[in-house]
Amino acid sequence: MENGNTAVSKRLRQAREEAQLSYADLSARTGFSKSVLQRYEMGTVKKLPLDRLEIIARALGVSHEWLLTGNESRGSLTPQDVTEQIRLKFIEHGILQEGDDLTDDQLTYYLDKLRQILQNG
């Protein structure tokens, strides 16, 4: 039977790999160093603070509950989490700059455009 740290570490790695993020990508999204993220993923850190786990979960697009327990739905993100994911993608693609916020008007505009694209296939 694996301990809690090992299970969390495995889910961290799984979520990062499924999101196709390198440690550098995840570091840019979270503000944590690559070495810290590697230690979390390897399970060499005895205690991973919940506030840090929540930041990492948001950056990976999963719930912190899933990372902790493996039982919650991986996609149980709040609307704020979804907005943050969109903001991070916009920064990654140069649409927004680091530190910029995504306004409600911008979010509505881009979501409407996405709906149009999806409907028109």
Q: Which domain holds residue 105?
A: 79-120
Q: Are 44 and 35 in contact (CB under 8 A)?
A: no
In the structure encoding, which two tokens stand for residue 29, read together? 């999204």
**Lookup result for tokens 């999101």:** 19
Q: Are residues 19 and 64 in the same domain?
A: yes
- pTM recorded for the entire structure: 0.60
Query: In this structure, is residue 15 part of a structural domain?
Result: yes
Query: In this structure, is residue 74 part of a structural domain?
Result: no
**Lookup result for tokens 């850190």:** 45
> For each of the chain's 121 residues, which pLDDT tens digit applies?
344 578 899 999 999 998 899 999 999 999 999 999 999 999 898 888 888 999 999 899 888 888 888 876 655 556 676 777 777 878 888 888 888 887 888 888 887 777 777 777 5
Q: Are residues 55 and 89 in the same domain?
A: no
Q: Are residues 62 and 83 in the same domain?
A: no
Considering its fold, how many domains does the chain have in total? Answer: 2
Handedness of CA 97, 101, 105, 111 (dihedral sign): positive
Q: Are residues 18 and 51 in the same domain?
A: yes
Q: Give the SS3 label for residue 80.
A: helix
CATH number, domain with residue 22: 1.10.260.40
HSE-up of 53 (CA within 13 Å, CB side)? 19
